[in-house]
Chain A
Amino acid sequence: MKTVYARPKLLKEAHFHYCPGCGHGIINRLLMEVIEEMGLQGEAVCVAPAGCGMLLYNYFEIDVIESAHGRGSAVATGIKRVRPDTLVFSYQGDGDLAAIGTAEGFHAANRGENITVIFVNNGVYGMTGGQMAPTTLLDQVTTTTPAGRDSVLAGHPVRICEVFSMLDGTSYLERVAVNKPAAVIKTKKAITKAFRRQLDGCGFSLVEILAPCPTNWKMGPHEACVWIDEVMSKQFPLGVVKEVPCT
């Protein structure tokens, strides 16, 4: 019998705490697959966030450090500068990177830190129960925008890749999704490319991943996946936003 798929060895034999239909589980698995395939277990250091992704050290068989809410890019900077031989990536949600940690993410990007940010965008604060995030769409209902997000009162959804693309320090920015098999394969490719570029010393890379959050979107898992295609990706267009040739 031929094995076509197996659990990556770097993914611990633990039950994910994620809700049914959540995108984090897929992204966690992809990261461990990529690190395993690239043979980087001995180099990888992951910076975990505050938010739904914060327990990933229960699943990753690589070195992990937790960061305070939003400070992942600063912690990653400290690690990478002292140990340039490591592969350092922070795992940050939309509240973490696009709200409380904007300064740290923005300036790590602007300095061209040779790190990778895995930016999980599901448009809500998941762990705290579905409040509005900076990436929440206009008119989207959350627990803190019960009448839908009104731009006059609550501003507009932030496009991190596009904002960061204006910074000369950024090297590779791509937006992908994990709502269907083809998209998952693309996400894996983007993560691989970002890590490869970090190893080559190309500078700051960020992979933004649109991920379903059926629980807080009040949708079924399938419905949430369809919503990413039909609604969310209109605000956050998929594809490479910036790729600077690496010399």
Chain B
Amino acid sequence: MKRLMSGNAALAEAAILSGCTAYFGYPITPQNELTEYMAKRMADAGGVFIQSESEIAAINMVLGAAATGARAMTSSSGPGISLKQEGISYLAADELPAVIVNMVRGGPGMGNISASQSDYLQATQGGGHGDYRTIVLAPGSVQELTEVVPLAFDLADKYRSPVIILGDGMLGQMMEPVDFDNLRRPPDYEKDYVLTGAKGRPARMIRSLIFDTKLQEEHNWKLFRKFQQMEQNEVRYETYLTDDAEMIVIAYGIGARIVRGAIKRLRQENLKVGLLRPITLWPFPAKALKEMAKTVNDFFVFEMSAGQMVQDVRLALEGKGHIHFYGRPGGVIPMPVELSRIISRHYYQEHFGGKRKKR
């Protein structure tokens, strides 16, 4: 059955249905509906809800809850996510599973409360101190939000690592029809690390302080191997009209949704433009992109930022192809018609401007 829900509320419901039993949050726009939904719903679901005194406290409550084996989650937006980076680094180091939601707003600093994609680098490059990565899932609709939530909890448990859901203010606040009929609660993993008191077993410890540099190095390599596995197994992306495309647009989240609208217009004008939409921003679908570069020369990156994912595109293409970029930072949300104009200008420049021969 379809229900009309905001992205924030749908995400919260999906988390409950995925077995989340501990949520800790602090108010910040544009994700408040998520915290409020949890406040109402968690008690009925038999879980724990706390409105914490800060984002720092919330992420550390998550850490404590995760250490007892609970599926734990917190959510925030830009400035609050910056505060959570301390805890995310500890979660990664301690190998504790957790889901962190960022409904990104315009920044830097206080910024504004509009939708933005300006936290890409923070999310995909580790974000906190130390040598670690987090899986980053970037849904593009309210329905897809509900689909990445069980996936996020599953990946967190599977790899014992924090997973980030990177939405934005628009995705969080807009209402769309959504159904939970196909949502499957992820399986329970055997957890031999949880702290519940050393009853009938040796005492356990969870810590990231390793004074012996050789042991710390070993721990880092262990984490690194885990991140390599993620890179090998967890890349997710979607393509749209790429088969005959002569220009591939790369965009994610709500940005990709706007691009779809632009591509529909462009196709009506017979411009052969397709879309590659990364669903995992880390690990980034680099191989798929590189593969496309065998037949396509022009890659157009659109981001609602001054250009962050474009770095990953550059790395993925390894010098192949030509990269175009268009960005709208600061919380500006362009219309499809604006994008279609910009894309077609680049498209025609490439084809008739004489820079490069048509294949």
Contacts and interface: CB of A to CB of B under 8 A. Distances in A.
B200 to A, nearest CB: 7
Contacts of A103: 53-54, 56-57
Nearest to B96: A65
Interface in B52-81: 52-54, 56-58, 60-70, 72
B198 A82 contact: no
B64 A63 contact: no
A78 B207 CA distance: 16
A67 B60 contact: yes
B61 A45 contact: no
Interface size class of A (residues with CB under 8 A): 35 or more
Contacts of A47: 64
A65 B204 CA distance: 8
A65 B65 contact: no
A112 to B, nearest CB: 12
Interface stretch (A36-44, A195-203, A221-229): A36-44
B229 interface: no
Nearest to B90: A68
Given A68-B90, A71-B56, A78-B72, A63 B197 contact: yes
Nearest to A74: B60
Q: Max chain B CB contacts within 10 Å: which of A67, A78, A82?
A: A78
Interface string B21-47: 110100000000000000000000000
Interface size class of B (residues with CB under 8 A): 35 or more
A141 interface: no
Contacts of B203: 41, 60-64
Given A66-B94, A78-B66, A82-B48, 15 more contacts: A45-B197, A57-B207, A62-B203, A63-B198, A66-B208, A67-B63, A71-B87, A74-B61, A75-B64, A76-B64, A78-B60, A78-B65, A78-B68, A79-B67, A103-B54
Contact of A104 (B60, B68, B70, B204): B60
Contacts, number: 136
Interface in A90-141: 103-104, 106-107, 111
A104 B63 contact: no
B65 A79 contact: yes
Contacts of B1: none
Interface of A: 40-45, 47-48, 54-55, 57, 60-68, 71, 74-83, 85-87, 103-104, 106-107, 111
A111 B53 CA distance: 10
Contacts of B86: 68, 71
Interface string B187-207: 000000001111110011111
A43 B199 CA distance: 7
A80 B70 CA distance: 12
A63 B68 CA distance: 11
B198 A68 contact: no
Contacts of B204: 63-64
Contacts of A71: 56-57, 60, 63, 86-87
Contacts of B62: 78
Nearest to B49: A81
B53 A104 contact: yes
Given A54-B209, A66-B209, A78 B64 contact: yes
